[in-house]
Structure 1
Amino acid sequence: MIIKKLLPIVFALGLTPVAQAQEQWPPVTQTAKPWTRWWWMGSAVDESGIKAQLQDLSNAGFGGTQVVPIYGAIGYEDKYINYLTPQWMNVLDYTVATSAGLNMGVDISVGTGWPIGGPQVSTQDAATKMVVETYSLKAGETLQEKIVMNDEKQKGIPGVFLSAVTAYDENGKATVITDKVLQDGTLQWSPKGGNWQLYALFVGKTGQKVKRAAAGGEGYTLDHFSDTALGNYFKAFDTAFGNSNHGVRSFFNDSYEVYGANWTPDFFTEFQKRKGYDLRLYIKDLVTKEGNEQIARVKSDYRETMSALMLENFTSKFTAWAHGKKSMNTNQAHGSPGNLLDLYALVDIPESETFGSTTFYIPGLRRASTDVQSVEPDIAVLKFASSAAHVTGKKLTSNETFTWLTEHFKTSWGQCKPEVEQVFLSGINHVFYHGTTYTPANAAFPGWLFYASTNFVPQNSLWPHLKGLNEYITRCQSILQSGEPDNEVLAYWPIYDTWANPKGLDMAFGIHQIDNWLCPTDFYTNTETLNSIGYSLDYSSDKMLTEAKVVDGQIKVTDKGAAYKVLVISKTKYMPVATLEHIIRLAKSGCTIVMQQFPEDVPGFNNLESNRNKLKDLIASITVQQKNNGIKEAVLGNGKIIITDTISQGLAYANINRETLTDRGLKFIKRKIDNGTYYYIVNHTPNKIDGLVALNTSAKSVVLLDPQTGKTGVGSFTAQKNNISVKLQLEPGEAIFVKALNELGNAKDKWNYHDKDANPIVLNNAWKLHFNNGGPVVPSDKTMKTLQPWTDFTDDVATQLFSGSATYTTIFKVERKNADDYVLQLDQLYESARVTVNGKDAGLVWSVPYKLSIGNYLKKGENTIEIEVRNLMANRIRYMDQNKLEWRKYHEINFVNIKYESFDASNWEVQPSGLGGTVTITPVNFLKD
């Protein structure tokens, strides 16, 4: 055999096959490992508990934590440590030092709970909203009532004041009469003729306070649009941290989630400075719920100004502050009323989040509709963060992962795998679990838990098998953090089309509202279509295009950022003149542009006709020629603009080739390295892939890397002029990395492709079942003629309420050990297993397709297999609720289910646990040359 012939060479080089395989993977860094959000409930933590839990996290394969103080547990109030006090800082210092000893990193949130705020936020600096009171007045009359705030909640709050009063006549003509209002609200103004409507705009406060705040973090939510407010906010951190970052790698800000904050005290001034006209004359337009084109344009200008203030007064200042501490910052821009791409681009680590679970058509992957959120994560939303990182050259894009993946206590590690793969496929490469809750040593099962997270805690019965998921993620991220992104297409996000909506006022780009701002757009339809047919892409904002240049025919927004072969413009109604000017500039510099049509109009209200004429003149200056199949083309300088109704047709015309592997349902993402390209290929289909898969790259050698097992080997491929076809064998639910090299690689072992499977050995002898550990009670041992889950033993009540570990053992014979390998296949596994063969650890089985290579551990004749299975926490929690055993003792929200109702597991069905169906061992021979 070729493999056997190679072994002496491998050993002569000092490389065991395992060591040689490991050399193919990039080095494991701190950030290659997954990190976890670490909830400190009430910050009731101590050094012994911190040390113990960090050791647990390190042993499980975590690379760091994101410390977030949160509301506390009832009965531990005397243990609470107020946020940012000297005592809290001492605990942080201990955490950082202990983490460093374990080669782990530490991030912290710049606040407790969310959104950002706290006791240092005065009412003047608190989240602000406009409150408009209206009055009617006739000619010659004097307003009898005073112009004062009528909202009882606003009265007496410092910082609330009258900002502007505007009078409108019957024809809509506006007159600002703010200076006619006395301090007590008396209006000293009377119209000479007609009927008038008065609009008084008060600067009010939302009254929102920090949600789920920890001790010492209670207080108002911050005004994100005021640089003064943010400067005042960080003074508390400057006092606590001084000139040091105390070892904190990155300061983290959670998603926006500030409700009703649609103003800031000096908004009129800021608006005039940016948009060139007096917004006080258009207060009526702002508060009209629906309206005409003028209202839409004024609201568009308002929203653009809000975005600019968010960018300049919060995000930019936050980044500068973190850099002043010689740290990085991490920011979740989603949810804010700002251009997400520009906000993400301004921070060191853009962070997105997944909320809920995705439907995957993978056989054997369980997903109960009653246990998941109604809204699924969308890869198109995740790409806003990764796109900003890619175009600006940032190495890391992080993600808050597994938030509300399933109902509490019902999440298996196998369910996590395709969800995190979806995250990776969006371009994200730095995963944060959501999350882990600090638990003191004396807390009974199930320990302390946060209400909205998947329970990545040592008290979880599945915890000892978490290393399987963590190692998978680590291998993936070690590659996905290598090299540079390799997306060919840059897609322009036409935000002005969304801003030009006459309905409502402030516009938050939240992950739960994408049906309002993203899904109805041509941009979304086109990018989803391009992604599904094999084009890899990132997004661009207007601001990014102003900074972009063409290098060797490709678009680069920054010198360190990714390069793109083509810019795609979806059907766009509103586009600023400056944006079209930059698109034309890029084309003249040698870039290829594919667009569905020229923009129809300019956004905004000021200088409207002048800007419209400029846009028309720009478009008229472009000479367009008709080509075949409905395609039009304009040659500009060294580049061109291709106009077509179908973007994919335009890309094909521009010789931008798609990856045809998506025709078979495969998903992918690429990374460029110095000597080649990495492809991450995932099979989320119900079908097995066995054959040649075409890739748009050249190669002299190909290495396959399995992130599930860590195995690597030289792959079989054929080379054409501009592409290769690689032989892949992928079961549903499996993933592979293809390393296509422009040189002969250093891998010595060939990839072991499976030939046709032989008849399997069915393990149909008697099985013994021994319960190892768990609770609330450990069931008695069982013997069974036919394999079955332990929850099928309904005559033993203990099996119905047990969560923990139990080992299935059987003996079987191998008549002849003459195959290249033997593959163990578990038919029904609830939920994960560690397999021991003849006393030797053969590895973990924790995700579909529930198989494991065990050939190295078998012997001719009699063999013993032990399969240690761990089940969900659900059955034990069900028992506790049925018996009214109190375990939910938290302030604030206490504990809720996935529908945000009071949590109660007493009516749950017993969750199947253990092994069922058939267990087989299939002799496998490898394909020979």
Structure 2
Amino acid sequence: MQTKRFLTLILIGISSLNLAKAQLPAKKMVSWPKVESQMKPWTRWWWMGNAVDDKNLDFVLQKYASAGLGGVEITPIYGAVGFENKYLQFLSPAWMDALHHTVKKANTLGMGVDMNTGTGWPFGGPQVKPEFAATKLIIQDYKVNAGEKLMEPIKVKEAKQDFAQIQAITAYGPNGETENLLSALQKDGTLSWSPKSGVWNIYAAFAGKTRQMVKRAAPGGEGFTLDHLDEKSVDVYLKRFTDSFRNKPQGIRSFFNDSYEVYGATWTPTFFAAFKENRGYDLSTHLKDLVSKDSTDENIARLKSDYRETMDELLLNNFTKNWTNWAHGLKSLTKNQSHGSPGNLLDLYGAVDIPETETFGSSSFKIPGLRRDAADIRNVDPDPVMSKFASSAAHTNGKTLVSSETFTWLTEHFKTSYSQCKPEAEALFLSGINHVFYHGTTNSPQDIPWPGWLFYASVEMNPNNSLWPHAQGLNHYIARCQSILQSGKADNELLIYWPVYDVWNKAKGLDMALKVHDVDEWLHPSPFYKLAKDLSKAGYAFDFASDRLLSRTKIANNLLQTAENAAPYKVLIIPACKLMSPETLNQIVKLANDGARVIFQELPKDVPGLNDLENRRVKLKSTLDKFGFTGDGKAVSVFKTGKGEIILAPNVQQALVQQHINRETLTDSGLQFIRRKKDAETFYYLVNHTAKNIDTYIAINATGKAVILDPQSGLIGSAAMQNNKVRVQIKSGETLFLNVSQAPMQNTVWTYLNTASSPINLNNPWTLHFTAGGPELPADQKLDKLTSWTDLKDPKLASFSGTGVYTTTFNLSVKSAKEYVLNLNQVDESARVWINGQEVGILWSIPFQARIGKYLKAGNNAVKVEVVNLMANRIRDMDLKKIQWRNYHEINFVNIDYKPFDASNWDVMPSGLIGAVTITPYN
């Protein structure tokens, strides 16, 4: 009996132990997410002249896929001279066959296909007859005395305005009277009206045409630019595609629209009606003010604000949403560059499936050794805050992807290295971008002599580029980064209101296109911009909100829920702004009543617009008067209302501290970051763009154990932690991911490079053998010292662009260190390394170092380094020899200043391995 009881107790104990084990968190092995096609970089793919055929399409798509591209975005443009017989007319049956072949082939290669809903840019083409073309407001003024009639007919004086339509005729009297004279206009243009007293000014408004044509149009895509503000015009435009597609899906993942560059399009024939319906008063009575040159009058500024708000509504509803609904009908998405539009960018980005920003020109980074030549720089620096308009629209609307046209005019042609690309892409990632599109790749048939067909504003991401053999280095890095940055949801704690009415409230000008190139005018001077920069530097993460977004935001668990699939926000911040609508203010109060925390940097002072002005001012003041703040009014004052509170704090960061909204102090080290959450995991993307190497323990707000993932090498390991801080070693120019989770980790321990021994210099002679490139392969070289191969005696080397392979050996007397790091020093421009026949990887960016301990052995070791250089030297040589290689229609080929391209005056660019190569042991 006792034995039986003993066995029962044993079984109960075992069962309890198993239950306890089952309740412990399962151990987790952190790994890179499976890379899907959308996680790889995609590229804008120019079809020059639509001169494409199945054989060449198959060939280049295979090349793209092998190099690690995830998809192509077809944009047809003008063609090369002399190949006109190979051109296909856009959307013709032959063109559609090429599209179908492309989609089928790309899909078999695991690639996706996007397509521009047009050719060149902006939208337009042969289906855009004058009545559907981009429209501008033309206002002419006349004078007439009492008792007299206007002698000249009211007709458009501007040339080539045969399709102009009269919209309004308004007379202004000497005492401020106005009179609508449209009904007095006769068929011959005369006016059957005369004033009874005084001198009257007559203003006639016409809907004229901008006459802008599609820029860089492809064959079959030429024509007028579309009237984006008119629904009927947009429907007519899209019908051409619907008919060509036979109203069936084409396998296009996403239809694309380039940045809004519809110049001078200030009107649409339905504008007066839309204005009266939405603003509540008759714009035709204000023609005089609408074209006024007075840049200081407050009422004119208010009128222009109302005009701009109406244009915003027309563009949002008649074009952006209309086009997106059309694409959805074809089982496709939309991808839109909303910047440059005359509207609220946050709403325009948010109305499409994939918001897309762009970078134009290059940024200045402090990374030692990173080349930035003054002659190769556009005077436009990409601005991370500008990029956050697109990412904010994605995050707040619960969208997974936010893309970027990337590297446009990064440097002068043929001088862009992958090392220069890397920090630019990282700046985008830090801004919330997670779907990079290269700008770009030109389709070029195999039989076109080197350098093939090229587009003038591109960094030439194509197989003819001498850097192409190492494209996988950059592409795999971006794919690893995006595999995490597309996972889960953005983890931003702050929602910052963008005061668009302060931007619109300007008396100068008419429409207001908010361009990437003009941020110093409409973005940089604002308190909103300064606040965003300060909060980012301090270590806060945030997104931007529009009035429309706030109007549909809800409160759940005292957090701001902007959309069903969006991550919630802890605090709403209203930066210092002058103007706010009573409706927005009331919605903010409602959010606070429902449990939100709202921080005003300053309270708004007035309402925007002109209609019912005094009543709306009373409404705004009435709401503000209910704010019963407690506090001294100098620092942080609090008004508790309902379940939440409204805080007034000129120093927003001070208010955040009091609200226990913690910043990420890791930015004090110089690191930049972005966070994402996936289930119970938090991911940190850490970037070192400082001039120093960083080796320190950093505090992070997420709790748990950290695993390090290196997106360049692919290495993963459990991080060292101390007092809830994580040790990171990040050299200048490097990045790391942290995976933070409460679950126990199974990953091996990350190998830190602690104590360095004396470097091993690779002093044995090197052999240099050229394997690919041109114009012809130079002879082999024996090198006692590594210098630019352009400095060697062979004259062929100064003009050579291609691949050179360096080989040498060195002796390692004993292999005893914990790790060994290879340092190639200066590489122009990328290197692929093998040690003892085993491939280490591609070292394509600064600092050109790699961990190689596992490849080394005691005794003699063989080193092989394959280096590719820029295209620049070969192009220079061709221009010196007057070899014709560029001959395209329209703009042909221009330099970074949009002048005719000529490389004959360039200096020879350094190439190859330069300086000492070392291997440093670490313990």
**Smaller-chain TM-score range?**
over 0.9
Matched, 1:286 2:290: yes
Partner of 1:104: 111
Shift of 1:243: 2.8
Partner of 1:134: 141
Partner of 1:7: none
Structure 1 CA distance for aligned equivalents of residues 600 and 334 of structure 2? 36
Matched, 1:760 2:759: yes
Q: Secondary structure at the match of 1:269?
A: helix
Matched, 1:565 2:570: yes
Residue among 527, 532, 537 paired with 2:537: 532
TM (normalized to structure 2)? 0.96
Structure 1 CA distance for aligned equivalents of residues 802 and 427 of structure 2? 30
Residue among 680, 692, 704 paired with 1:687: 692
Q: Deviations over 1:136-160 (max 9, x none)?
A: 1111111111111000121x2x3x1
Question: CA RMSD, aligned part only?
Answer: 1.2
* Equivalent runs, 1:309-324 vs 2, <5 Å: 309-324=314-329
- Native 8 Å contact 1:21 1:713 kept in 2: no
Residue among 491, 500, 506 paired with 2:505: 500
Partner of 2:23: none
Partner of 2:727: 727
Aligned residue type for 1:736 = L
Aligned residue type for 2:323 = F
Q: Deviations over 1:52-107 (max 9, x none)?
A: 11100100011111011111011110000111111111111000100111111101
- Native 8 Å contact 2:635 2:651 kept in 1: no
Structure 1 CA distance for aligned equivalents of residues 672 and 311 of structure 2? 37
Aligned residue type for 2:100 = D
Structure 2 CA distance for aligned equivalents of residues 254 and 647 of structure 1? 37
Residue among 326, 332, 335 paired with 2:340: 335
Residue among 172, 177, 189 paired with 2:176: 172
* Equivalent runs, 1:289-304 vs 2, <5 Å: 289=293, 290-304=295-309
Shift of 1:630: 1.6
Residue among 572, 592, 614 paired with 2:597: 592
Q: Secondary structure at the match of 1:513?
A: helix
Residue among 794, 797, 800 paired with 2:795: 797
- Native 8 Å contact 2:639 2:645 kept in 1: yes
Aligned residue type for 1:806 = G
Aligned residue type for 2:149 = T
Partner of 1:4: none
Q: Secondary structure at the match of 2:516?
A: coil
Where do 5+ consecutive residues of structure 2 fail to align?
A: 1-26
Partner of 2:76: 69
- Native 8 Å contact 1:394 1:561 kept in 2: yes
Partner of 2:910: 912
Q: Deviations over 1:224-281 (max 9, x none)?
A: 1000000000110111112322111111111110000000011111100101100000
Residue among 264, 272, 275 paired with 1:271: 275
Structure 1 CA distance for aligned equivalents of residues 578 and 537 of structure 2? 25
Shift of 1:629: 6.0
Partner of 1:813: 811
Aligned residue type for 2:103 = V
Structure 2 CA distance for aligned equivalents of residues 137 and 632 of structure 1? 60
Residue among 598, 621, 630 paired with 1:625: 630
Structure 2 CA distance for aligned equivalents of residues 757 and 682 of structure 1? 24
Q: Secondary structure at the match of 2:262?
A: coil
Q: Percent identity?
A: 52
Structure 2 CA distance for aligned equivalents of residues 432 and 580 of structure 1? 39
Aligned residue type for 1:302 = Y
Partner of 1:489: 494
Partner of 2:720: 716
Aligned residue type for 2:250 = H
Shift of 1:821: 2.0
Structure 2 CA distance for aligned equivalents of residues 306 and 325 of structure 1? 28
In structure 2, do the counterparts of structure 1 residues 628 and 877 end up closer, same or farther at CA, with 3 Å as the change threshold? same
Q: Secondary structure at the match of 1:202?
A: strand
Aligned residue type for 1:630 = A
Partner of 1:885: 883
Matched, 1:147 2:154: yes
* Equivalent runs, 1:7-406 vs 2, <5 Å: 24-154=31-161, 156=162, 158=163, 160-289=164-293, 290-406=295-411
Where do 5+ consecutive residues of structure 1 fail to align?
A: 1-19
Q: Deviations over 1:371-405 (max 9, x none)?
A: 11111100011111110110110000011111111
Structure 1 CA distance for aligned equivalents of residues 783 and 476 of structure 2? 34
Aligned residue type for 1:44 = A
Structure 1 CA distance for aligned equivalents of residues 660 and 891 of structure 2? 56
- Native 8 Å contact 1:627 1:633 kept in 2: no
Aligned residue type for 1:427 = G
Aligned residue type for 1:401 = T
Q: Secondary structure at the match of 2:447?
A: coil
Aligned residue type for 1:300 = S
Structure 2 CA distance for aligned equivalents of residues 275 and 705 of structure 1? 54
Structure 2 CA distance for aligned equivalents of residues 230 and 729 of structure 1? 54
Partner of 2:919: 921
Partner of 2:16: none
Partner of 1:9: none
Structure 2 CA distance for aligned equivalents of residues 557 and 842 of structure 1? 46
Shift of 1:221: 0.4
Q: Secondary structure at the match of 1:611?
A: helix
Shifted more, 771-780 versus 315-324: the winner is 771-780
* Equivalent runs, 1:769-808 vs 2, <5 Å: 769-793=768-792, 795-808=793-806
Structure 2 CA distance for aligned equivalents of residues 628 and 292 of structure 1? 33
* Equivalent runs, 1:848-863 vs 2, <5 Å: 848-863=846-861
Aligned residue type for 2:741 = L
Aligned residue type for 2:786 = L
Q: Secondary structure at the match of 1:487?
A: coil
Q: Secondary structure at the match of 1:100?
A: helix
Q: Secondary structure at the match of 2:825?
A: strand
Shift of 1:22: 9.4
Structure 2 CA distance for aligned equivalents of residues 924 and 153 of structure 1? 76
- Native 8 Å contact 1:21 1:710 kept in 2: no
Q: Secondary structure at the match of 2:38?
A: coil
Structure 1 CA distance for aligned equivalents of residues 66 and 259 of structure 2? 30
Shifted more, 192-201 versus 490-499: the winner is 192-201
Q: Deviations over 1:409-463 (max 9, x none)?
A: 0001111100000011111111111111100111000011111111100000000
Matched, 1:578 2:583: yes
Q: Secondary structure at the match of 1:889?
A: coil
Q: Deviations over 1:637-687 (max 9, x none)?
A: 111111111221221122111111111211100001111200000000011
In structure 2, do the counterparts of structure 1 residues 291 and 164 end up closer, same or farther at CA, with 3 Å as the change threshold? farther
Structure 2 CA distance for aligned equivalents of residues 923 and 600 of structure 1? 64
Structure 2 CA distance for aligned equivalents of residues 22 and 177 of structure 1? 78
TM (normalized to structure 1)? 0.95
- Which segments of structure 1 move beyond 3 Å, counting only runs of 4 or more? 20-23
Shift of 1:748: 2.7
* Equivalent runs, 1:403-482 vs 2, <5 Å: 403-482=408-487
Q: Deviations over 1:157-201 (max 9, x none)?
A: x3x111111111123332111111112110111001111111111
- Native 8 Å contact 1:392 1:562 kept in 2: no
Q: Secondary structure at the match of 1:681?
A: strand
Q: Secondary structure at the match of 2:39?
A: coil
- Native 8 Å contact 1:341 1:387 kept in 2: yes
Q: Deviations over 1:729-762 (max 9, x none)?
A: 00000000000002213x3311111111111101
Structure 1 CA distance for aligned equivalents of residues 54 and 248 of structure 2? 22
